[in-house]
Amino acid sequence: MKIVSCNSNRPLAQAVADNLQLPLVNASVRRFADMEIFVEFHENIRGEDVFVLQSTSAPANDHLMELLITMDALRRSSARRITAVVPYFGYARQDRKTGPRTPISAKLVANLITEAGADRVLTLDLHAGQIQGFFDIPVDNLFAAPLFVQDIKARYAGRNLMVVSPDVGGVVRARAIATRLHTDLAIIDKRRPQAGVSEVMNVIGDVRDRDCIIVDDIIDSGGTHCNAAEAIMRNGARSVSVYVTHGVFSGGAVARVGASSIEMLTVTDSIAATEAVQTGANVRQLPIAPLLAEAMRRISEESSVSSLFD
Ligand code: R5P
């Protein structure tokens, strides 16, 4: 078993390698003067079970291309099996035609990853579970939910909790956490008049005097969660905190969260923390490396990954 790190999240790759007590493969992923990517391994790869770790976070296209070129190099180095470990799978929100003459970019990215040489994919909280079907190779989709539940129980013990889905699309994810916490579920009726802009139409459920926990897969501009928090507080909640798997945090999202009524926003480190995230007063990160490492160990030993979530 060997672990290769591309450049999008080296601290996570190192943490995974430390968990597995393995060194990262000695490799260089670098740029030519014209910004073309070049990859070179400085050790033998032949016959190895190789895991390539890369989140396709911003700059998404560069990070995707790095992943593809790395897998191409691995295939040409005679790796026995290549697993693309993509903790944050970018382009996942483009998983259907949103209008006439538009792409399904998530499918294109799945094709690219497969064509570049991946034998299987390991990812975390895919935006939509059915994206697994865009691949004709095995996909293991891990869930941050158990980690969130454990953290919520420890951090919010004794509070009058209520789980909130920030939109209708997130109900299944939020309900899974509400069930594990034995608490109620509220739903935000969200409207997106245009890309990057969200509006709260209604809060469905009685949030009065509750300590609300919004659960979601992605925070991008922060609009969804900040608007939801304001609406929930207007409806009489006692507090609002947020748990999100992937901290995309584009533009001034961290500042927006800082200026909102969100008590604390917790994200995993599936995407490397920017300085703004590291210093954000009401933002914290939960390490995902132990979960990824255990899943990788099980894949390598051909044992069950799903039983991690029993
Ligand atoms: C939408 O379906 C996702 O689950 C997130 O709610 C959304 O991507 C968050 O975007 P933003 O932070 O820009 O409102």
Mean pLDDT throughout 94-123?
97
Half-sphere exposure of 292 (CA within 13 A, CB side): 32
Nearest CA to ligand 1 atom 1: 218
Token pair of 252 as six digits: 């001034």
CA dihedral 79, 81, 87, 91 (to 10 degrees): 90
Percentage with pLDDT > 90 across the chain: 95
* pLDDT of residue 200 exceeding 90: no
Q: What is the full DSSP assignment across 30-75?
A: EE-TT--EEEEESS--TT-EEEEE----SSHHHHHHHHHHHHHHHH
Ligand 1 pocket, 170 CB below 6 A?
A: yes
- 236, 297: one domain: no
Mean pLDDT in the chain? 97
Mean pLDDT throughout 29-34?
94
CA 221 to ligand 1: nearest atom: 13
Burial annotation 9-29 (CB, 10 A radius, 16+ → b, else e): beebbbbbbebbebebbebeb
Nearest CA to ligand 1 atom 9: 219
pLDDT of residue 194: 85
CA 127 to ligand 1: nearest atom: 4
CATH code where residue 61 lies: 3.40.50.2020
Nearest CA to ligand 1 atom 3: 218
- 132, 45: one domain: yes
Mean pLDDT throughout 139-146?
97
C-alpha to C-alpha distance for 90 and 109, rounded to whole angstroms: 9
Q: Ligand 1 test: best mutation among 218, 230, 244, 250, most atoms within 8 Å of CB?
A: 218
* CA of 218 relative to ligand 1 center, distance in Å: 5
Q: Ligand 1 test: best mutation among 219, 227, 254, 262, most atoms within 8 Å of CB?
A: 219
Q: Give the β-pairing of 81-86 and 120-124.
A: parallel
* pLDDT of residue 9 exceeding 90: yes
C-alpha to C-alpha distance for 115 and 72, rounded to whole angstroms: 9
pLDDT digit string (tens) for 110-130?
Answer: 999 999 999 999 999 999 999
* pLDDT of residue 193 exceeding 90: no
- 40, 132: one domain: yes
- 245, 296: one domain: no
Per the omega criterion (within 30 degrees of 0), is the bond before 59 cis? yes
| Residue 202 main-chain phi, psi, to 5 deg | -150, 155
Name the pLDDT band for 83 (thresholds 50, 70, 90). very high
- 296, 249: one domain: no
- 178, 299: one domain: no
Name the pLDDT band for 5 (thresholds 50, 70, 90). very high
* pLDDT of residue 196 exceeding 90: no
Ligand 1 pocket, 223 CB below 6 A?
A: yes
pLDDT of residue 310: 84
Ligand 1 pocket, 8 CB below 6 A?
A: no
C-alpha to C-alpha distance for 263 and 254, rounded to whole angstroms: 13
Q: Which residues are catalytic?
A: 190
Ligand 1 pocket, 140 CB below 6 A?
A: no
pLDDT of residue 164: 98
Name the pLDDT band for 49 (thresholds 50, 70, 90). very high
Nearest CA to ligand 1 atom 8: 218
Nearest CA to ligand 1 atom 10: 220
Ligand 1 pocket, 181 CB below 6 A?
A: no
pLDDT digit string (tens) for 150-169?
Answer: 999 999 999 999 999 999 99
- 21, 125: one domain: yes
CA 190 to ligand 1: nearest atom: 6
Nearest CA to ligand 1 atom 5: 218
Q: How many residues appear in the chain? A: 310
Name the pLDDT band for 58 (thresholds 50, 70, 90). very high
Burial class (CB in 10 A: 0-12, 13-18, 19+), 277: buried
pLDDT of residue 195: 81
- 183, 133: one domain: no
| Cβ atoms of 213 and 165 closer than 8 Å | no
Percentage with pLDDT > 70 across the chain: 100
Tell me how many domains the chain contains. 2
Domain coverage including residue 131: 2-142+290-309
* CA of 192 relative to ligand 1 center, distance in Å: 10
* CA of 136 relative to ligand 1 center, distance in Å: 27
- 40, 120: one domain: yes
Name the pLDDT band for 201 (thresholds 50, 70, 90). confident
* pLDDT of residue 177 exceeding 90: yes
Ligand 1 pocket, 147 CB below 6 A?
A: no
Q: Which of 147, 102, 105 lies closest to 124, judged by CA?
A: 147
- 16, 131: one domain: yes
C-alpha to C-alpha distance for 270 and 165, rounded to whole angstroms: 21
- 281, 300: one domain: no
Q: How far is CA 190 from CA 94, 111, 169, 198, in A?
A: 18, 32, 10, 7
Name the pLDDT band for 69 (thresholds 50, 70, 90). very high
- 247, 304: one domain: no
